[in-house]
Copies of this chain bind each other. A is one copy, B any other.
Amino acid sequence: MITRSAVSFAALALALASASSAAQPSGTTQALERNFDAMINPADQLAWLQQMSSAPNQVGSPHDKANADFELAMFKQWGWDAHIERFDVLYPTPISTTVELVSPAHVVLGGQEPAVPEDPSSSNTANALPPYVAYQGDGDVTAPVVYVNYGMPDDYDALAQRGIDVRGKIVLARYGGGWRGLKPKLAQEHGAIGCLIYSDPADDSYAEADVYPRGGGRPEAGVQRGSVADMPIYAGDPLTPGVGAVPGAKRLSREQAVTLLKIPTLPISYGDATKIIAALEGPLVTGKRRGDLGLAYHWGGTDAVKIHLAVKSDWSLKPVYDVIGMLHGSVYPDQWIIRGNHHDGWVFGASDPLTGQVALMSEAKALGAMYRQGWRPLRTIVYASWDGEEPGLLGSTEWAEQHGAELQQKALLYINTDSNGRGYFRAEGSHELQHFVNQAANDVADPKTGVSTAERGRAGILAAAYMGSEREEQDVVDAAKEGGDLPLGPLGSGSDYTAYLQHLGIASMNLGFGGENESAGSYHSVYDSFYHVTHFDDPGLQYGAALSKVVGRIVLRAADAPRVPARYRDFATTVSRYLTEIKKLEADQRDKDRTLADLRREGDFRLASSPTDPIVAPVDRGITPVFDMLPLENSVDHLKRAASAADAMLGREDSLPPATQARINASLAHIDELLLDPQGLPGRPWFKNLVYAPGTLTGYGAKTLPGVREAIEQRRWDDARTYIVRTAKVLEDYANRLDEATAMAGTTS
């Protein structure tokens, strides 16, 4: 481990003399990338996919370990300096699971998903996890059932308006609308004693696709497994927040681990859910809150329908195995470009995660071959195959926590992928990387059409906008129309970048293809199989190869360029847009508060109450105050000016003395760490990034400028005022760092 000041300026100068501008790959770089592309072989990926998905590979399974060992052997064979790093984490596994209708009749529900004759994997479930959600709370309860739609806060508002409460009851929530774990969490907060989660056909079956195996849609008996840990509080091993789960680590007791839920929870199929919903009484569910089962939905809550739900788990520690491979940098060995994808699945994991994992392996094979041919990256390339992503980003988070200080010194970039499928290139990430990502997408051909993946992306956005389907945000449509860079989405959570971006402040991106795959219908079920992937998600793994080519370019360019290419005005413009959104959110929320007050005063809800769906007025939560946003406005304004100046300076960087360039690059290399606040976000100090976070009430979905945005949304007015100032501070620090770098050029040229 070295300190930043120890970087050898002489070595840097040498490297810069031989490296070209990152923005436009030089002839040498193009040759390198052609060489790389020639070694990306979808047949390799198919073979690895078939082998690695041939048996259940969830955490702790023999095949999960076998896959890690196989990858280690391959990395070594390909010339990488590789090893396995093990962590011992809390990972519960089911001892017994019971879900059965008690009223109106006794009907046993649940159990393993049945085989589909066309799909050979689906009968190979001897070592498979039954339908289960990790980190639920064991228990044995019998109670009436309340349908809660997605089980999100506005659904509980709808229930309250109908006088239905879930205290002492079991909620039946459908998947979707937010992170899985929020469903039992919000249920227990509202007093429920159990939770069932089912996959409604509206969301991933016949409303969207033909049912498996005719198409990729979820069959009637398909069940989505998953984690329900309260990961918006912290990711990783529930017992070791902030530190690696290694021998001797300080571990919390289970009782102390706030990310563990308290009530028994199981996932069920829509075949089973139909038997429950058909019998529910109470007011009718209409509009967007009903799903697509072919019957009337009711909220329930009466004794007409009772469920017995019982879960007992083995709460012992289990090992996770991260495979770590390195190609050491020739000039900057202590500047790391990290690229990861997990290898554990819920059952066979063919699509999730192995479609992404085999793309990573293709890249590693090609890079290893190039290395053996004599190519040496300037920087160190780290390839990571994470274990335990599914239960809670375990492998990636424990590694990040174990090596946190070193990573904050060395890691310049974290590149993540996960499931991949046919369709459109999609990217989220730190916004100063937006142009860099788009350049790579511009340089890789879409397998289906032959145009660049970026060009196809623009065509897809414009055609969809014209047809009126799945319309993107207007800024995305405008960007597509102009033919320019497509905006990166912000990173929330749901994959292994979380610890890197949001806990350590390392610039990150998450990449993949999708939109024409049908893997939603097999997601986390036994049907996520080689057969499903090769028929419905990415036949021939053509998009697996395309992913390797995009990621490979980004790795190569980041590893070999004078600096990781960044365009700071993209970040500044995006943050400015987020601030505009928050100001609109505040104003709209205040308007809505005022409207509610007016309507309550006039008794309009009582007057409007319907005989078939009598409702009462929503609770009065007061009026959203006007906040002093000036600190944020000033810092964003400074950020925009500083970013423009820095970009302009970097545009003429080639003309600066090598030593000056080296100083500038060192100054900017870890600028994203300035977005961290040591106290972190309110109620969740592990999440320290004040620009990007998963929402506490979305889980997957990002909340940008989260300290401020969520405080306003959740009506924590004091937090809003505090985090306006704290967020302004980190943006100001970021802008100041840009100014410093710009000044370095001015004083030395």
* A interface list, Cβ under 8 A from B: 201, 206-211, 214-215, 217, 284, 286-287, 290, 292-296, 422-423, 446, 448-449, 451, 455-456, 458-460, 462-464, 466, 469, 516, 518, 592, 595-596, 599, 602-608, 610-612
CA distance A355 to B217 in the complex (A): 46
- Identify the interface centre among A287, A296, A451: most chain B CB within 10 Å of its CB: A296
Residues of B within 8 A of A287 (CB): 469
Known: A287-B469, A290-B207, A466-B592. A459 touches B602 (CB 8 A): yes
CA distance A81 to B455 in the complex (A): 77
In the assembled complex, the CB of A601 is this many whole angstroms from the nearest CB of chain B, namely: 12
CA distance A611 to B464 in the complex (A): 15
CA distance A518 to B286 in the complex (A): 13
Q: Which of B201, B455, B610 touches A607 (beta carbons < 8 Å)?
A: B455
Known: A292-B294, A463-B599, A612-B516. A607 touches B209 (CB 8 A): no
Q: Are A604 and B462 in touch, CB under 8 angstroms?
A: yes
Q: Are A466 and B595 in touch, CB under 8 angstroms?
A: yes
Residues of B within 8 A of A459 (CB): 599, 602-605, 607-608
Q: Which of B210, B295, B458, B516 touches A296 (beta carbons < 8 Å)?
A: B210
Q: Are A462 and B599 in touch, CB under 8 angstroms?
A: yes
CA distance A515 to B726 in the complex (A): 50
CA distance A516 to B613 in the complex (A): 9
In the assembled complex, the CB of A612 is this many whole angstroms from the nearest CB of chain B, namely: 7
Q: Are B516 and A611 in touch, CB under 8 angstroms?
A: yes
Residues of B within 8 A of A295 (CB): 206, 294
In the assembled complex, the CB of A411 is this many whole angstroms from the nearest CB of chain B, namely: 37
Q: Are B217 and A296 in touch, CB under 8 angstroms?
A: yes
Q: Which of B210, B284, B596, B607 touches A456 (beta carbons < 8 Å)?
A: B607
Residues of B within 8 A of A292 (CB): 292, 294
The contact sample of 22 A-B pairs, CB cut-off 8 A, is A206-B295, A206-B296, A209-B284, A214-B296, A217-B296, A292-B292, A294-B295, A446-B607, A449-B606, A449-B607, A455-B607, A459-B603, A459-B605, A459-B608, A462-B608, A463-B599, A463-B605, A463-B607, A463-B608, A464-B608, A466-B595, A518-B612
Residues of B within 8 A of A296 (CB): 206-207, 209-211, 214-215, 217
Residues of B within 8 A of A608 (CB): 456, 459-460, 462-464
In the assembled complex, the CB of A605 is this many whole angstroms from the nearest CB of chain B, namely: 5
Residues of B within 8 A of A455 (CB): 607
Residue of B nearest to A285 (CB): B207
In the assembled complex, the CB of A481 is this many whole angstroms from the nearest CB of chain B, namely: 8
Known: A284-B215, A459-B603. A294 touches B466 (CB 8 A): no
Q: Are B449 and A294 in touch, CB under 8 angstroms?
A: no
Residues of B within 8 A of A206 (CB): 294-296
- 9 nearest A-B pairs in the assembled complex, by CB-CB distance: A294-B294, A459-B607, A463-B608, A459-B604, A206-B296, A460-B608, A459-B608, A210-B296, A463-B604
CA distance A464 to B287 in the complex (A): 13
Residues of B within 8 A of A607 (CB): 446, 449, 451, 455-456, 459-460, 463
Residues of B within 8 A of A290 (CB): 207
In the assembled complex, the CB of A199 is this many whole angstroms from the nearest CB of chain B, namely: 14
In the assembled complex, the CB of A518 is this many whole angstroms from the nearest CB of chain B, namely: 7
- Identify the interface centre among A423, A463, A602: most chain B CB within 10 Å of its CB: A463
CA distance A207 to B217 in the complex (A): 22
Residues of B within 8 A of A604 (CB): 458-459, 462-463
Residues of B within 8 A of A462 (CB): 595, 599, 604, 608
Residue of B nearest to A201 (CB): B294
Taking A459-B602, A460-B608 as given, write out 15 further A-B residue pairs in contact, using a Cβ cutoff of 8 Å, ordered by the A residue number. A206-B294, A206-B295, A215-B612, A287-B469, A292-B292, A422-B611, A449-B606, A451-B607, A456-B607, A459-B599, A460-B607, A462-B599, A463-B605, A463-B608, A466-B595
